Amino acid sequence: MDADKLETIRAIHDSFDKKQTSVVEVTRYFLDSIKKNGGKSGLNAFLTVCENRVLAKAEAADQILSAEGKVPRDRLPLFGIPLGIKDNLTMDGVRTTCGSKMLDNYVAPYTATCVQRLESAGALCLGKLNMDEFAMGGSNENSAYGPVQHPTQPERVPGGSSGGSAAAVRAGLCVAALGTDTGGSIRLPASYCGIVGLKPTYGRVSRYGLVAFASSLDQVGPMARTVEDAAILLDVMSGHDPRDSTSATVSKGAYREALGKAPETQAEWSGIRIGVPKEYFVGGLSAEVQKSIQSSLRWFESKGARVIPISLPHTEYAVAVYYLIAVSEASSNLARFDGIRYGVRPAEAENADDLAAFYRKVRGHFGPEVKRRIILGTFALSSGYSEAYYRRACQVRRLIKQDFVTAFEKVDFIAGPVSPTTAFKIGERISDPLQMYLNDIFTIPANLAGLPAISIPSGTEAPDSLPIGFHLIAPPFQEERLLSLAHAFEKRGAAR
Ligand code: GLN
């Protein structure tokens, strides 16, 4: 099978229309690729493969194809498209581990709204993707099922926590994937692996069926090879969901359609103002990444857009604020994994002498990073300290949000790096959690402020051609404009 005909939704649909391939053939091709390269002996991107489930759906799709003659794109925009799902999103009857031994044997009894919407639009879910345990991490080294390898440089990390999703998309193990982003977990791995990753506005995509990490920050989003594919996925999965009380009632956009409105003429470009925060170009940013971002900004200028220096003065507090709020919410959310409501319940726990011993046997199944965060979060919320830590952090979060409100009075978008460096080596930073946390400096502010943000491949770093991502942030619910600008940027290679 011709691999480049299987890279995008559009290409696959064309092959179906031309009868060059059947849905079952395409599905088998991806299942074989996963067997060859996606499992433990390869990238370790997939934790569970739903072979029978997905083949049954592919057979049903082939029947629709033969009855209708061509792909029913309008009714089923994801018809026959093989996808991967991060393993913190539930699928009815499918194991959902969250990358944790705590949920090693957990089979979900219902399907997450976003996954259900993808499937109702014709998507074929191949299986569940590896991730940092409970989405806590930025390198995928915190998975209880072993690290994911970078798709082109096996000794390096793919980024995290949606590392399995990014590696699988880049390596051609699925066409696109779902990730989740609490502090950068879609954008960071997308940038390290050279794919597109979109974190929508908080509340744009339902969190129903997403195992909560930090509920006021978590957001589901698409990871794909092209902006168009990310837009198609967002079209399908966004929109209000009464089952998630934080799901936005703001009507959703027409995201794929918006790509046709990407700026083209000089006059259209001159109306676009891109803010560049001076706080995003400070010590720690690698020279290569900085060079790539500057050259992308020059491209925007050459088209006629205005690149305007701005300030987001509270940026320096973002990492501290995030790591107080995220761990506090996590300590509360993860209390349900007690072996009674959720979580493994080993035989030695059954024989425990008292409740404390029972908890120790059960909650010992969390890995070291999750334990560290539960302890930190419990402390930050404890009586006598919650005013000094948690409440303070919430107050500063407000100031960070206000920085963006003020900035967006002067500019339409904010641009900068996604991460200070390109993909680092496996093991290089794992013993220094603080260094790992600081890596999130550019992605975290968009989560704290609830804003949509995207990482788009913008260049590579020599000598290993490690991908660099360009980061664009927009005002709330402006995904249409964000995607259309990203689309124009993505096409620049062809235009140059
Ligand atoms: N790296 C960040 C953390 O460890 C972000 C994780 C995420 O977005 N899920 O918390």
Residue 135 within a domain: yes
Number of domains in the chain: 1
Q: Which atom of ligand 1 is nearest to the CA of 326?
A: 10
Q: How far is the CA of 179 from the centre of ligand 1 (A)?
A: 12
pLDDT at 494: 58
- Residue 470: inside a domain: no
Q: Is residue 484 part of a domain?
A: no
Pocket of ligand 1 (CB under 6 A): 135-138, 161, 181-185, 213, 326, 440
> How buried is residue 462: exposed, middle or buried, by Cβ count under 10 Å (0-12/13-18/19+)?
exposed
Query: Ligand 1 centroid to 133 CA: how many Å?
Result: 10
pLDDT of residue 313: 98
- Domain assignment present for 349: no
- Indicate which residue's Cα is closest to atom 5 of ligand 1: 183
Query: Among the residues of 103-175, which ranges form H helices?
Result: 113-120, 163-170
Pairwise CA distance, residues 372 & 379, whole Å: 11
Give 107 Cα–ligand 1 centroid separation in angstroms: 24
Q: Which two tokens stand for residue 404?
A: 């963006």
Compute the distance between CA of residue 93 and CA of residue 91 in angstroms, rounded to an integer.
6
Residue 383 within any structural domain of the chain: no
Whole-number Å distance, alpha carbon 294 to ligand 1 midpoint, is 26
**In contact, 6 and 172? CB cutoff 8 Å:** yes
In the residue annotation, 484 being an active-site residue is answered as no
- The best mutation among 132, 142, 371, 418 to test binding of ligand 1, ranked by most ligand atoms within 8 Å of the C-beta, falls on 132
Contact 201, 451 (CB under 8 A): yes
Q: How far is CA 480 from CA 145, 198, 253, 408, in A?
A: 37, 12, 6, 16
Of the residues 440, 442, 443, 455, which should be mutated to test ligand 1's pocket, given the most ligand atoms within 8 Å of the CB?
A: 440
Handedness of CA 136, 137, 143, 148 (dihedral sign): positive
Q: Which residues pair with 470 in a beta bridge?
A: 417, 456
Residue 246 falls inside a structural domain: yes
Report if pTM > 0.85.
yes
CB-CB neighbours of 1 under 10 Å: 14
What contacts 24+ positions apart, CB below 8 Å, involve 237-242?
Answer: 237/113, 237/114, 237/117, 237/118, 237/205, 237/206, 238/200, 238/204, 238/205, 238/479, 239/206, 240/206, 241/113, 241/206, 241/208
The single residue of 22, 33, 57, 86 carrying the catalytic annotation is: 86
Amino acid at 110: Y
> In testing the pocket of ligand 1, which one of 87, 182, 207, 322 has its CB within 8 Å of the most ligand atoms?
182
**Amino acid 5: pLDDT:** 80
Residue 104 located in a structural domain: yes
Catalytic residue among 161, 238, 328, 331: 161
Q: Are 469 and 458 in contact (CB under 8 A)?
A: yes
Residue 409 CB-density burial (10 A; 0-12 exposed, 13-18 middle, 19+ buried):
exposed
Please state, in angstroms and rounded to a whole number, the distance separating the CA atoms of residues 209 and 211: 6
> Residue 63: which CATH number?
3.90.1300.10
User: Is 303 one of the catalytic residues?
Assistant: no
- Give, for all 496 residues of the chain, the pLDDT tens digit: 777 789 999 999 999 999 999 999 999 999 999 999 999 999 999 999 999 999 999 999 999 999 999 999 999 999 999 999 999 999 999 999 999 999 999 999 999 999 999 999 999 999 999 999 999 999 999 999 999 999 999 999 999 999 999 999 999 999 999 999 999 999 999 999 999 999 999 999 999 999 999 999 999 999 999 999 999 999 999 999 999 999 999 999 999 999 999 999 999 999 999 999 999 998 789 999 999 999 999 999 999 999 999 999 999 999 999 999 999 999 999 999 999 999 999 999 999 999 999 999 999 999 999 999 999 999 999 999 999 999 999 999 999 999 999 999 999 999 999 999 999 999 999 999 888 998 999 999 999 999 999 999 999 999 999 999 999 999 999 999 999 999 999 999 754 4
In a domain, 413, yes or no: no
Among protein residues, the one whose CA lies closest to atom 10 of ligand 1 = 136
Determine the distance separating the centroid of ligand 1 and the alpha carbon of 62, expressed in angstroms: 39
Q: Computed from CA positions of residues 455, 253, 408, 451, in that sequence, does the dihedral angle turn out positive or negative?
A: negative
Which is nearest to 430 in space by CA: 481, 475, 387, 368? 368
Q: Is 185 a catalytic residue?
A: yes
Task: Give Cβ neighbours of residue 186 (< 8 Å, ≥ 6 apart).
Answer: 162, 165, 179, 180, 197, 198, 199, 221, 223, 455
Q: What's the domain range around 111? A: 3-259
